[in-house]
Amino acid sequence: MFILEEPYVSDLLTATVGELGLPVLRTPMAERRLPGRLAALLCDDAAFSAAAGKPGARLYSNSENAIGWIAEHLSGSDLPRRIGLFKDKLAFRDLVADLYPDYRYAGVPVGELRAFDPARLRAPFVVKPAVGFFSLGVHVVESAAAWPVVVDEIEREVRSLGHLYPEQVLDLEHFVVEEVIQGEEFAVDAYYDTDGEPTLVNVYAHLFSSADDVSDRVYLTDAATVARLGPPAEAFLAEIGRRAGLADFPVHTELRIDETGHVAPIEVNPMRFGGWCATDLAHFAYGIDPYRCYLLGEHPEWARIAAETAGRTTALIVSDLPSSVDLAAIESVDYEGFAARFSNVLELRRTDFNRYPVFAFTFVEVPSDDLTELRAILGADLREHLKMVSPRS
């Protein structure tokens, strides 16, 4: 079953909806994205909630914008509890606190950030919305002295970004201040089956330009990445699933792994895989349809996939823009110029750049032994591809 919501529904997801023929909640996005022949799949609130509330029902939402509907219409099921446990980063930290006894964190209302004593945590540390999305409002604080400047920036972001998503997706009224988790950052898309066992459908390595970079600019995957990071991620997910009592449930999980192989969680995002249909990276890299895997209980044959895809790396480039850019003043984007940065573009997905601080999601392929193009885009100022509205004299 599907709930299709803003901000983005990919062609792959739409095609999967048609192929599986499962019920789809009637939303404005679903009505826009589904062709007329699939209109019969659309269900009103009552019919959809009745089906979704049955034991063993599998529900997938491409967007956390659906959380509010789930809380209202499926309150009699266990879904709202599961979602809340992960969507609230403070609740999630409490869930795993005993696994990381030396890790320090605190919840702080936005109005109390300026009074918070940064000496309570070892620097560097991170401050981010307790309920967040897409690295919005996330900052690395290098020292206690830098805290007032970071608070200034957060207060400005609260004024400019608070309207982008529902409060169930991005709540800029409450923040988590927590120590930096050391190690290589990566992410996985996975689902829990009826018995609570996790199955991986995607493994991404997250590249950064520097230690204080918190952007979502580049994610990549290849056979070696899956072989190296998949097993420890699966073991971690099994433990989390046991603690939270998960079954028939998809997640997008962000993790770090240190040199000793110790895995620590950054966050677990419920009811979905990679946001903005970023999970489609598995399709471009491996021919995997992650939506189909979850809803039909299919398991990728990773050993076979590794043999067939050795030597090539597939990446997702998120064309994010700094919060200082006036989105309403963007007249156009030079998409051809941006695409020319890469030698093999698999698909470039344009977005509503006047509404969201990103102008494209682009899937590219590079040789695994040459990541030059990916590293070059990490530090690039993408404002050079923007044409801004000329100010009136």
Residue 350 CA to its chain's centroid (Å) = 18
| pLDDT score at 211 | 66
This prediction has a pTM of 0.86
Nearest Cα to 220, choosing from 115, 373, 90, 85?
373
Does 7 sit behind a cis peptide bond, omega within 30 degrees of 0 on the bond before it? yes
Q: Residue 264 is encoded by which pair of tokens?
A: 């620590």
- Residue-wise pLDDT for 242-295, tens only, equals 999 999 999 999 999 998 998 999 889 999 999 999 999 999 999 999 999 999
Asked if 318 and 358 count as a contact pair (C-beta separation under 8 A), the reply is yes
CA distance 98 to 87: 19
| Paired residues of 24 in beta bridges | 2, 42
| pLDDT score at 393 | 46
Nearest Cα to 252, choosing from 32, 13, 87, 26?
87
What is the sign of the dihedral through the CA atoms of 30, 289, 215 and 176?
A: positive
Question: What are 346-355's contacts with CB under 8 Å, separation 24+?
Answer: 346/284, 346/314, 347/284, 349/8, 349/10, 351/7, 351/8, 351/276, 352/7, 353/321, 353/327, 354/327, 354/328, 354/330, 355/7, 355/164, 355/327
- Which positions of the chain have pLDDT values less than 70? 131-135, 160-171, 211-212, 214, 392-393
Asked if 2 and 25 count as a contact pair (C-beta separation under 8 A), the reply is yes
- Residue-wise pLDDT for 195-250, tens only, equals 999 999 999 999 987 766 767 899 999 999 999 999 999 999 999 999 999 999 99
Name the strands in the sheet holding 312-320, side by side, starting at the edge strand that comes first in the sequence. 263-270, 249-257, 184-192, 198-207, 218-221, 312-320, 358-367, 345-350
The amino acid sitting at 113 is L
Domains of the chain, first to last: 2-85 (no CATH), 104-179 (3.30.1490.20), 184-388 (3.30.470.20)
| pLDDT score at 181 | 84
Asked if 207 and 213 count as a contact pair (C-beta separation under 8 A), the reply is no
Instruction: Say how many C-beta atoms besides its own lie within 10 A of residue 107's C-beta.
Output: 17
CA distance 136 to 161: 8
351 three-class SS:
coil
Instruction: Say how many C-beta atoms besides its own lie within 10 A of residue 79's C-beta.
Output: 22
Share above pLDDT 90 across residues of the chain, in percent, rounded to a whole number? 68
Asked if 126 and 138 count as a contact pair (C-beta separation under 8 A), the reply is yes
